[in-house]
Chains A and B, each alone.
Chain A
Amino acid sequence: MKNICKIIKKTQLCKEVFDFEVEFSHRPLPGQFIHVLCGDGVFLRRPISICDYNEGILRFSFAVRGEGTKRLANHNEGDMLDILGPLGRGFDTGKSGEGTAVVVGGGIGIFPLYFLSKRIKTEAILGFRTKDAVIMEDDFKSVCSAVHIATDDGSYGFHGLVTDVLQGRLEKADVTSVYACGPMPMMKEIKRITEDMGIFCQLSLEQRMGCGIGACSVCVCKSKGEYKKVCQNGPVFNAREVDFDE
């Protein structure tokens, strides 16, 4: 549904990453997203994953990447935003299994995983480019049983990729589910790792989006040989059903 929402809190998490809290009356599920009008001069909405929801307050975070997110970041506390949502299919928490659930996030892909980690018992593996880009570490520590940070340049935490950390963590054989969101190469590797080990895995995908409600057939991804709509059939997909071949 379309909502006109008041921004009640704006925080800058790091260079180019902003965090908004808005009044929002519809209770979302972890993994769902909102579709936001960014302001004058920006025609299309921008899809943004939901980072948290608590008693009428929805939190979302985003990086300034283009004109849309730049305009959005110019908003201040007290401003109103036109938000469609909550939209899409979220994470399936019913299939986490008896063992440990691990969330794996790369960069701005970590946001939907925080909301999920509040709902189910998880460990988190979070990857960033460098120390200055590390965000939400304390948030995750407050809800996860363990938080592993990796940086590409080794300036903080593990020096390397989240997929290396994941591979090491899976050696203990107590993990029964993996939920991931991040850059495509990361997700492709996580699909491979979890498939090899027979672990349940879901991925939250991103694609350039139009309507956000499943009507325009723009934001597709290949799943089991056919194009599925990221906004409607996803954004969360079972990893084994995603084709990364293209």
Chain B
Amino acid sequence: MNDIDLTVSIAGVTLKNPIVTASGTVGNGWEISRYYDLSELGAVCVKSITLNPREGNRPPRIAETPSGILNSVGLQNKGLDFFLKNDLNNLRKFDTKIIANISGGTIEENCEIAGRLGNEVDLIELNVSCPNVKQGGIAFGTNPAMVKEITQRVKDKCKVPLIVKLSPNVTDITETAKAARQGGADALSLINTLIGMKIDVNTAKPVLANNIGGLSGPAIRPIAVRMVWQVACCTDLPIIGMGGIISGEDAAEFIIAGATAVAVGSANIVNPAAGLEIKNQLTDYLKRKGIQSVSKLRGTVKIN
């Protein structure tokens, strides 16, 4: 295994391998670290942090859909202070990079969180695309001018490279990608969940208490691959690709489309050891294909 070079670089930060956890799917790492050593991962991206604690949406917060998950957690978290005092110290025990996903309700709140995180984490991921909160979130992420402005202002407070997480709920994702680039983003991550809805036909009521939620899982993978490819074609920023990755070959597909790293999300919900297993499967894939370095795979899609 050691003969394959898995290292990748995101805006000058070296990840020992391209496997990252997608925000919100592993909490802050406490639970899955009982299933495997988090040092096996390129980076851990923590659950969205807001300035103050958030209680989240009413349950039910999850529904199964064909090859997918619809969720409406609503950014439940214990707030920035708790993260800095508790979660961060635990994550530091592992030899992996830490990505703080921040999800403030206003530009000012995001600036304050980014400022206070300082260089306590390796990277900051700005969530401008959460579909489950009324304020902030997707309200920022679907308007290119807003994406540019929020990126600029948060970047100004960041002491570490800034990743902007893009929403797929737009007509043309290259516009928001370019806007984030113009605003000074150091990297992009995509895609966040697609807005969806499931109705119980026996009761005529939506299954989620929030009525609508974010769709993830293999169901959205082709959309995510297409968007990663489109964004890779229009910017030179490193991309963390995600959307329904459940195997090493799925991870390879995103890298071929142009992603530098990949995030595993819904797969963690089904299998706590998914991150480790996907890393090993990606290594096997590279061996099988005779590719010595994962970076050689990036953007190798042979367009018809």
Contacts and interface: CB of A to CB of B under 8 A. Distances in A.
A211 B63 contact: no
Interface in A23-74: 37, 42-45, 67-68
Given A43-B64, A211-B31, A218 B73 contact: yes
B59 A45 contact: no
Nearest to A46: B64
A122 B24 CA distance: 42
A208 B35 contact: no
A215 B27 contact: yes
B58 to A, nearest CB: 6
Contacts, number: 96
A43 B217 contact: yes
A217 B270 contact: no
Nearest to B246: A43
B60 interface: yes
A141 interface: no
Counting contact residues on chain A (CB < 8 A from B), the size range is 20 to 34
Interface string B114-132: 0000000000000000000
Contacts of A215: 25-27, 30-32, 268-269, 272
A209 interface: yes
B74 to A, nearest CB: 9
A226 B270 contact: no
A51 B119 CA distance: 50
B269 A44 contact: yes
Contacts of A210: 62, 69, 71, 269
A67 B26 CA distance: 26
A179 to B, nearest CB: 23
Contacts of B266: 43
Contact of A207 (B27, B59, B68): B59
A188 B63 CA distance: 24
A84 B218 CA distance: 21
21 contacts: A43-B64, A43-B69, A43-B266, A44-B64, A208-B207, A210-B269, A211-B25, A211-B269, A211-B270, A213-B272, A214-B30, A214-B31, A215-B31, A216-B71, A216-B269, A217-B47, A218-B59, A218-B62, A219-B62, A221-B59, A226-B55
The 5 closest A-B pairs by CB, nearest first: A215-B27, A215-B31, A208-B60, A218-B62, A213-B31
